[in-house]
Structure 1
Amino acid sequence: MALETTADQPAPLRQVSQLIDGYIGRLGAVWVEAEIAQLTRRQGVCFLTLRDLVAKISIDATCHVSVLDSSPGAITEGARVIVHAKPSFYAPRGALALELREIRPQGEGELLAQLERRKQLLAAEGLFDPRHKKRLPVLPRGIGLITGKNSAAERDVLQNARVRWPDVRFVVRHALMQGNGSALDVMRGLAELSSDESVEVIVIARGGGSIEDLLPFSDEALIRAVHACPTPVVSAIGHEPDSPILDLVADLRASTPTDAARRIVPDVTEELAGLASMRERARFAIGALVGREVHGLAAIRSRPVLATPTTLVDVQQGLIHDARDRARRSLGHRLDRAGDEIGHQLARVRALSPLATLERGYAVAQLPDGTVVTSIDHANADAELNIRVVDGTIAARVLTTDPTPHGKEGDHGSGT
């Protein structure tokens, strides 16, 4: 009901504020389309400024961070959204605000949200796993190129690649790079190039464009075909800010078609310079190695053992000569001692020999059978005896025998 006031009976400001709060409080939640002009996160609460899409009207809004995080797409400043909100009035300041209960991105934001969901599902399957990435050849024999016919992307890739490596070979397949049927056309070219054994890497190139223009390169069927392709695939879609899902599944992402040309073939000038540098380093390394070896050989040759190699032999030869001389002296001494000992033994033998006794005037009487006569009992009368003296034998006959009494030394009896 209307508030009746006059100049004489004005209504207090607090009463007006209370009535406005009551009116607004009776409003239910509404769906509102707007653009986010400002967004601030602060201690679990988000403060937003919503702006009308046409008129220059804006209103503050708040929500819990969970409302913003649960949105199906990324919510940023400048995004077009539809919010489910409950109007509220803050009486102490007389400020109107919206309490947001749900936020949905619209237009490009909704499209980005769909792509994000698709990206998450494919990532969960492992299609973007770095372990599945294939290494690009250093210098491919053939390069497959899928791009639009007579497009700037085609010229960029071909010209820049040939500038870097003039002998590079391309196998080009033209395809629709925008609109309905584009993904299918690219998949057809991918299948043809992957079956060509001379093609060792495939480049999918297109110039920049809007999100809608690049949608075919986020097509799920194309993403799965690239993942299953046995040949390494390079994605060169758009410019640096553009990021279709193809960039994630490709074995290599190039920011632009020109960047793709730079990364798939080496620069012949750089390679020649690198070879020259490597050759120079190798020459220097070999020279240094030879120098070290020559110095080492000179040091070894200067050692006494190599300066006079016979030194060791001479030393050993001297030792052998000394040992030989000692052996000769030792053997000579032993032979001398043995000779002296033999002389002594010979003298003893000669002293004990019967011949020496005979030389002193003694004789040995023997019977004809050789028996030595040691007693008169052995020689009977008329017995024949052989008497051996120092220079021969005398034949004799026994005439008589005369026994010698015991104890009378030097008293000899004989009878022949």
Structure 2
Amino acid sequence: MNQPANTPDTPWPVGKVNDQVKGWIERLGYLWVEGQLTQINFKPTWKLSYLTLRDVQQEKSVQLTCPSSMLQSLSAPLKDGDRVIVHGKPAFYAGRGSFSLWTTEIRHVGIGDLLARIEKLRQQLAAEGLFDPARKRPLPYLPHKIGLITGRGSAAERDVMAVAHDRWPAVQFRVLNTAVQGANTVPEVIDALQQLDADPEVDVIIIARGGGSVEDLLPFSEEALQRAVAAAGTPVVSAIGHEPDSPVLDNVADLRAATPTDAAKRVVPSVAEERAIVAEARSRMAAALRGWVERERRGLDNIRSRPVMADPMTPIRARREEVERTRATMRREIEVMVERETRHVESLRARVSALGPSATLARGYSIVQVVPKDGSGPEVVTSYKQSPPGAQLRIRVGDGSITAVSMASQAAD
């Protein structure tokens, strides 16, 4: 039968919508579904019981409806946080528009299966490099403030804070209490981790819980929590359970502590130990300084014991006589050199004088210069053509000069 068109003019009534949805959903048939139980509403006197099945990786859940007699027939009673596999058929109750999974069978997930899945996840994360030591963030030497994620009023909280304050009384904490087992553990721990990671005053984060069964510690091996820890910018310390316990969080965290008490010791330095280290360092420095002073004293004693130190002036007097001899030798050599160079200069002077014009003029030679009529400087006459008749001449001789006038000039025969 053709359905009438659904338009603003021909809307469906609520009942029709619910009937359509019911038909679509119930065509899915029976399914096997795995999850974690929360909010178990069961009483033996009730005909039906209601449970919530939560996805362990995501913030998603589905309502379960089952006969109370089925729950009573289980070999082990159900409790919040149990990992189970259920067999049921999706059901939609048209009267109130609600969805549920009508459940006909509930099975506990075996410990062996859980451990196998944890190991598979461990191998997967290792292959992705989340366990690589190179990505581990170093812890601060002395944290300003420690973020602590743990159960409210738990022994783990008391142990961490007591040991930390004993070791360093001034240490500060920001504590966020969360569920540490059961279905709410993973989302609450992730939310607390993100809050502390965003706090600029928190230098390191401790996730702490006391020991427990494998089922109790399962949330600390969930993939969502591992990826949240790997994405954090603040160093994270895993302090889950006791020494034999090893959730996946131990591998992803930047530091694994065997117990919450061990976490406090690994994160906070001891005042007493630091004082002992300082005292030891001071002692070593004092011993080193005394040794240096003693070595220098022996060196000075050795120098003072040398013969030269008995009469320090003896080498000075010997050197002074040597300086005097050297000075006398240098004086004689300088005088000889000056005398030799003086004679050489006199010889050069005599040669220059003999070759100069004054000596030539003194032997009877003269220099004839013509005086131009334009008043410019006289010029040496080197040709008869320079002194035509009437030219004014100046004749230089050895002891003066003669002014004359050219009467005639002619070429040489």
* Counterparts of 1:224 and 1:305, CA distance in 2: 81
What is the CA distance between 1:172 and its match in structure 2? 0.3
Cα 1:167–1:331 shift into 2, 3 Å: closer
With structure 2 as the length reference, what TM-score do the two structures score? Answer: 0.52
* Equivalent residue runs for 1:212-291 within 5 Å: 212-291=215-294
What is the CA distance between 1:186 and its match in structure 2? 0.5
Structure 2 partner of 1:142: 145
* Counterparts of 2:111 and 2:334, CA distance in 1: 119
CA RMSD of aligned residues (A): 2.5
Matched, 1:156 2:151: no
The DSSP-based 3-state class of the residue aligned with 1:180 is coil
Aligned residue identity for 1:278 = A
Cα 1:275–1:331 shift into 2, 3 Å: closer
Structure 2 partner of 1:119: 122
Cα 1:127–1:319 shift into 2, 3 Å: same
**Residues 366-412 of structure 1 deviation map (CA, whole Å, 9 limit, x = unaligned):** xxxxxxxxxxxxxxxxxxxxxxxxxxxxxxxxxxxxxxxxxxxxxxx
What is the CA distance between 1:250 and its match in structure 2? 0.7
* Counterparts of 2:321 and 2:229, CA distance in 1: 87
Cα 1:328–1:226 shift into 2, 3 Å: closer
Structure 1 partner of 2:213: 210
Mark the structure with the bigger radius of gyration: 1
Matched, 1:168 2:168: no
What is the CA distance between 1:303 and its match in structure 2? 3.8
**Residues 210-240 of structure 1 deviation map (CA, whole Å, 9 limit, x = unaligned):** 1111111111111011111111111000001
Cα 1:311–1:221 shift into 2, 3 Å: farther
Aligned residue identity for 1:197 = P
What is the CA distance between 1:328 and its match in structure 2? 8.8
Aligned residue identity for 2:126 = A
Structure 1 partner of 2:202: 199
* Equivalent residue runs for 1:339-354 within 5 Å: none
Aligned residue identity for 1:232 = P
* Counterparts of 1:261 and 1:121, CA distance in 2: 30
Matched, 1:321 2:329: no
Instruction: Specify which structure has the bigger relative contact order, considering alpha-carbon pairs within 8 angstroms and separated by 6 or more residues.
Output: 2
Q: Which runs of 5+ in 2 are unaligned?
A: 1-108, 337-413
Matched, 1:130 2:172: no
With structure 1 as the length reference, what TM-score do the two structures score? Answer: 0.51
**Residues 23-81 of structure 1 deviation map (CA, whole Å, 9 limit, x = unaligned):** xxxxxxxxxxxxxxxxxxxxxxxxxxxxxxxxxxxxxxxxxxxxxxxxxxxxxxxxxxx
Cα 1:312–1:267 shift into 2, 3 Å: same
* Counterparts of 1:305 and 1:108, CA distance in 2: 93
* Counterparts of 1:308 and 1:253, CA distance in 2: 74
Aligned residue identity for 2:256 = R
Q: How many residues align?
A: 228
What is the CA distance between 1:296 and its match in structure 2? 2.1
What is the CA distance between 1:138 and its match in structure 2? 1.6
Q: Which runs of 5+ in 1 are unaligned?
A: 1-105, 335-416
Matched, 1:182 2:153: no
* Counterparts of 1:194 and 1:313, CA distance in 2: 78
The DSSP-based 3-state class of the residue aligned with 2:130 is coil
Structure 2 partner of 1:341: none
